[in-house]
Structure 1
Amino acid sequence: MSTPAPEHDDPTLEADVFARNCDSRPVLQNVASRWGVLSLVALREGAFRFSALRRRVDGISERMLSQTLQTLERDGMIHREVQQSIPPHVEYTLTDLGAKVADQLEGLVVLLETNIHEIRSAQDNYHRD
């Protein structure tokens, strides 16, 4: 007697991020986290070594960057390549999927940056009330 395959192995099921057990929900959480967004958008600029990416994503700790990169690699968003040099270097790049996601995230980043004055005004008004 065989056991039924887990739901995420059924190709006929559609992803629904609003469903509690949908596999896309934790991926959305990883991608949409502060460090996930910043790392993915930074990697749109090209390949980065760990220390250079940490400088680019100002304020992230080594540990948090390491965790973020591992999670994004697991989710298929980034590629980690060990360069055969002395000493060995690791370089991070976006996968095709990661590039598509990063493109969408950059649109959000640009929208927020270009509307920061309106956002600040709304925040000031909120705190006055």
Structure 2
Amino acid sequence: MNERGMVYPLILSLCFIILIFFSFLTEKVASERQFVFMQEEQLRQVRLIQQGVDRALIWVEDLSVYPAERRVNVSEGILKVVFTKISGDEVMFSVEAVTTRQSTKKVKVYYNVTQKSVAKWVEG
């Protein structure tokens, strides 16, 4: 067998192995970037929900008519808060946070008005 005839298939095989290695690395980097993007978006949602709950705790003290709804635009998105009276001293308010990238997170908070404390927090 000729030595020249062995070099070409060897080089071709080596290039194929290098191509597979770089495609694996590219896919790995892309999946890591997607994971980081999703984590950042979840942190934005949590910050928005916390801002909404903080504002709702202030607003609930001033409300006299139920059900009530408030919307507010903040730098990271839009907050929608809906207040509903459950009983004489318990108010439920739901906070919906929509980020600038249109992902949504919702939470329902049951608040005791007389004790000024959160009785229950339900996400989803």
Considering fraction of residues, name the structure with more helix. 1
Same fold by TM (over 0.5)?
A: no
Considering fraction of residues, name the structure with more strand. 2
TM-score of the pair, normalised by structure 2? 0.29
TM-score of the pair, normalised by structure 1? 0.28
**RCO higher in 1 or 2 (8 Å CA, sep ≥ 6)?**
1
- Which has the higher Rg, Structure 1 or Structure 2? 2
